[in-house]
Amino acid sequence: MERWQLDNYCLRILLVLIAKSSEKPKIRFNELSRLVRDLNLGISKPTLSDHLRHLVENEYVTRKVEGVQRVTYSLNFEKIGKIKGYWKTAEKMAAFLEKDRDAFFSLPVKGQVKQLLRFMELRKLLEIQARIAFESNPSSFEKQFGVLFWTSSRFERHEVWMIEKCVKDVEYREEVLRTIDELLKPQLEQAKAMKVR
Q: Does residue 2 belong to any structural domain of this protein?
A: no
Residues 60 and 12 placed together within one structural domain of the fold: yes
- Tell whether 1 is covered by a domain: no
Instruction: Kindly provide the b/e burial profile for residues 24-48, where b requires at least 16 CB atoms within 10 angstroms of the residue's own CB.
Output: eeebebeebbebbeebebebeeeeb
CA–CA dist 177, 146 (Å, integer)? 33
Asked if residue 21 belongs to a domain, the reply is: yes
Asked if residue 159 and residue 91 are part of one domain, the reply reads: yes
48 and 94: one domain?
no
Structural domains counted in the chain: 2
Distances (CA, A) of 46 to 5, 43, 49, 53: 20, 8, 5, 11
Q: What is the pLDDT of residue 181?
A: 95
Q: Who wins on pLDDT, 58 or 178? A: 178
How much helix, strand and coil, in percent to the nearest 5, is found in the chain? 75, 5, 20
Is 3 contained in some domain? no
In terms of domains, do 52 and 100 share one? no
| Window from 3-12, 38-47, 120-129, 183-192 with minimum mean pLDDT | 3-12
68 and 88 in a single domain? The answer is no
Please report, as a single letter, which amino acid is at residue 21: S
pLDDT given for residue 150 in this prediction:
78
- Pair 120, 47 in one domain: no
71 and 90 share one domain? no
Distance CA(165)–CA(16), nearest Å, equals: 28
Using an 8 Å Cβ cutoff, are 147 and 12 in contact? no
| CATH code of the domain in which 30 resides | 1.10.10.10
Residue 13 exposed, middle or buried by CB count within 10 Å (0-12, 13-18, 19+): buried
Domain that holds residue 35: 8-75
pLDDT of the residue at 24: 77
Residues 45 and 94 in one domain: no
> What is residue 151's predicted lDDT score, i.e. its pLDDT?
78
Say whether both 24 and 90 belong to one domain: no
41-78 pLDDT, tens digit per residue, is 788 999 999 999 989 988 889 999 887 778 899 988 88
Task: List C-alpha distances in Å: 158 to 40, 101, 113, 127.
Answer: 18, 8, 9, 18
**Residue 153 and residue 66 share a domain:** no
Average pLDDT over residues 183-190: 90
pTM over 0.75: no
71 and 128 inside one domain: no
> Quick one: 90 and 35 in the same domain?
no
Domain assignment of residue 67, yes or no: yes
Q: Are 32 and 48 in contact (CB under 8 A)?
A: yes
